[in-house]
Structure 1
Amino acid sequence: MLGAVGAGAVVLLALVALYSLHPLGLHGRFPVAQIIAFKGVLAFGLLAIGLLLGGSALAVLLLGSRRDRARATVGVGEADDSDDSDGTDGRVVGADDESVGGTRVGRNGAVSPDRASDQDPDQDQDAVPPRFPIRRRASAVVLAGAIAIAFAGSAHAVSLLDRGMRSGEVTASGEAATSSDFTVMTVNMARSRADAQAVADLAVRTGSDVLAMPETTVELAGRVRDLIEASAGGQFEVYSNGEGPTASTSMIVSADLGPYEQVAMGPTGGFGRVHLVPIGDDGRQPVLVAAHPPPPVRANMTEWRAENIGIVGLCQRATRPTVIAGDLNMTVDHSVLESIGDQMSVCRDAGIDARIGGVGTWPSDVPAWAGTVIDHVLVTGGLRGDVGEVADIPGSDHRAVVVSLRLNGTGDVEAERRSRLIDEG
């Protein structure tokens, strides 16, 4: 009974993590929001549990069947022997023997137990009761649950593989960035303690034109900017919002993308947000946003939902190509991103386009398959991820995410929406 209840509970957990329960709001509730974030652990953990439980239940069922067959064979043999002898001294009991008081008396006065007198007349001599009926029924239930658990784990694994679980390698093209071909990096600097030189080296090697840097003071961002310019040349601008090593978010942008103006943001529940809009362009220059919502812990759930809904809202309301990058503290499995379901052709995760969407970005001290993907580059307006890379940064508990972006089409967001509606209708 307990095994069946436990199996049912695990199956329910697997289904909660696997299927969209957005109408119930569970994906945005504590602790479901934490459980579904670690999709790799769910996939491999559920597969292991399913195989272990299934193997154990199958072994019990097979062993019980073998014992029943052996017992049936022994029972039939004993029944055959009882037809020919009395089972005591090997003497054959004849027709002239008499039964007196529960004993059988032969002509020669020999006395032997009378088996017929001890036999319950209602009992079938040939019937052999099953050895472990209750255990076998429970094992069958556990086996069915194990199959469901393994199926859920397999579905999680397939989903991760579809998003991409191997990091590529982004290399600098050597050409100046344009609004239709540029590279974005996001890296959480871990309370401004990450190695500035390592970040600058990665930016130079990958040719990153935009760096979204949560938990980065303006001073640290300026130092990274100076290292990039000293190594790769060119000119970069630094923008920042927030105070302190944790609450600050900074952004470094190549001048090749054109001039930008930082838009003042109202109060948010996050740790600073940088919002940059182009100045006097042709409509193709992208809007750039660096964000860092609070983590989905019990005390922050309201702020976490509100901040991420606001971020996704920026993506949905975009009228030109837009990039939203940073430590968003959510995965594509959370209800906030699922709620834009049919909008994903307009607001999309460029990391999935680049086949790195299943590589864990936090924490960096566990294997990438066991981590959660909470650092993102979201894009709109025809922008698509081309090549992606996930890299370790000394001193940071997050991995950096780098995606080279290309603009497909004109960048007209409204035209894309109309085209999508026509295709769906």
Structure 2
Amino acid sequence: MTGTATDVPRAAPRRRALGRRGRAWGLLGCGVVLAAPAALLAVRLAGLDAGTPLAMPVALFPYSSVLAVLVLGVLVAVPALRSRRAVVVVAALVVAHLTLLAPRFVPGGRDVPPGAVELRVATVNAHGGGADPRAVVELVRTERIDVLTVAQLPSEGVEALARAGLGALMPYQELRPEYDSSIYSRRPLSHAGPTRIDTAWPQTTAEVAVGGRAVRLVAVHTYYPLGDPGRWTRDMAALTSLARRSGPDTVFLGDFNASLDHAPMRGLLAAGLTDTHAELGRGWARTWPAGHAFVPPLIHLDHVLHGSGLVGTSVGEHTLPGTDHRAVVAVLALPPAED
């Protein structure tokens, strides 16, 4: 009996020590998980992704926010890990993340008067001509697209789309396979040709008449930051300069190789453009990579941006066979110009 009695007080300190050790390891694990959200928040706030390899991880900023929320939930739900100081620190991190992300989930478009003329646009990355041409034509037909921009479209891809019947739906074309992007339209195009700005390859541009107004179109495909973040940043800076010189009736659409969390993209939007997804509260759309059996689309790289003269009324993504990007379709209204 005596030996049994002395074991009880000896076991209690051992359990407490194990509990303290387990709590320490648990908090350490939470800290390790939070390293990514904290680091990406610093990169996002300071704009350190511009021109640096940090452009790749910052594209995952929304996912790091989810990690921070999960860690906060664990700290609150598990009594053994509960610490007022830790909860306050993680809560502040979560608030900072959500403050940056929340605007893209809140619809903020202007009211569109009844009967306002609309422009239906779509953008497709043809993946070097690999996109199924019949699927592209079907998308144009079913979505009643007025203007289609296609990136990574070589001469063979142009011919394949012609054989699939795209010309019958969109007889007006500014085809620039040598410069990577092309424009197809149901409506006549004017002032068409390649841009003369400092991008890796010229962007294709044209104007289309809509409701008595000339809407300028820019078919965008920038260099990719994984290949050369400096070249990508210069591409985005050149587009920003072009946007500042463009009027309110402007649409930039295509593969920007940039998400809303990239500093160069935020600079482009600050030049007077609106991202249609964010405008309609759909700011975490995912367009890349597509077409993989085990990897879903993760990042929003393909956008429809428009000037202040237009208003987005709908936007969506469509998966097409043969390409690693999802197509984006948007409907843009042109309210009467304000005096």
Q: TM-score range by the shorter chain?
A: 0.7 to 0.9
- Distance in 1 (alpha carbons) for counterparts of 2:208 and 2:125: 25
Q: Give structure 1 stretches of 5+ with no counterpart.
A: 62-138, 165-178, 416-425
Partner of 1:201: 138
Superposed displacement of residue 282, structure 1: 9.3
Note if contact 1:249-1:292 (Cα within 8 Å) is conserved in structure 2: yes
Check if 1:35 corresponds to 2:57: yes
- Distance in 2 (alpha carbons) for counterparts of 1:163 and 1:270: 34
Partner of 1:15: 41
Hey, which bits of structure 1, 4+ residues long, moved more than 6 A? none
Superposed displacement of residue 285, structure 1: 1.8
Aligned residue among 288, 293, 302 for 1:362: 288
TM-score w.r.t. length of structure 1: 0.62
Q: 1:221 to 1:181 in 2, by over 3 A?
A: farther
- Distance in 2 (alpha carbons) for counterparts of 1:199 and 1:301: 31
Aligned residue among 58, 62, 80 for 1:59: 80
TM-score w.r.t. length of structure 2: 0.76
Check if 1:353 corresponds to 2:275: no
The secondary structure found in structure 1 opposite 2:139 is helix
The secondary structure found in structure 2 opposite 1:203 is helix
Partner of 2:225: 296
Check if 1:251 corresponds to 2:180: no
Deviations along 1:49-90, one digit per CA (max 9) or x if unpaired, are: 33335545x4145xxxxxxxxxxxxxxxxxxxxxxxxxxxxx
Partner of 1:241: 176
The secondary structure found in structure 1 opposite 2:130 is coil
Note if contact 2:37-2:65 (Cα within 8 Å) is conserved in structure 1: no
Equivalenced residue count is 304
Question: Please, what is the CA RMSD of the aligned residues?
Answer: 3.4
Aligned residue among 119, 144, 148 for 2:92: 148
Aligned residue among 317, 323, 336 for 1:390: 317
Within a 5 Å distance, the mapping from 1:88-103 to structure 2 comes to: none
Check if 1:306 corresponds to 2:234: yes
Within a 5 Å distance, the mapping from 1:72-151 to structure 2 comes to: 141-151=85-95
Structure number with bigger Rg: 1
Q: Which amino acid aligns with 1:265?
A: T
Q: Give structure 2 stretches of 5+ with no counterpart.
A: 1-23, 109-115
The secondary structure found in structure 2 opposite 1:191 is coil
Q: Which amino acid aligns with 2:74?
A: L
Partner of 1:265: 195
Note if contact 2:105-2:278 (Cα within 8 Å) is conserved in structure 1: no
Q: 1:162 to 1:305 in 2, by over 3 A?
A: same
Q: 1:291 to 1:11 in 2, by over 3 A?
A: closer
Note if contact 2:40-2:58 (Cα within 8 Å) is conserved in structure 1: no
- Distance in 2 (alpha carbons) for counterparts of 1:328 and 1:11: 24
Superposed displacement of residue 274, structure 1: 0.7
Note if contact 2:105-2:282 (Cα within 8 Å) is conserved in structure 1: no
Note if contact 1:385-1:406 (Cα within 8 Å) is conserved in structure 2: yes
Q: 1:319 to 1:152 in 2, by over 3 A?
A: closer
Q: Which amino acid aligns with 2:41?
A: L
Note if contact 1:10-1:149 (Cα within 8 Å) is conserved in structure 2: no
- Distance in 2 (alpha carbons) for counterparts of 1:263 and 1:213: 14
Note if contact 1:351-1:357 (Cα within 8 Å) is conserved in structure 2: yes
- Distance in 1 (alpha carbons) for counterparts of 2:160 and 2:97: 45
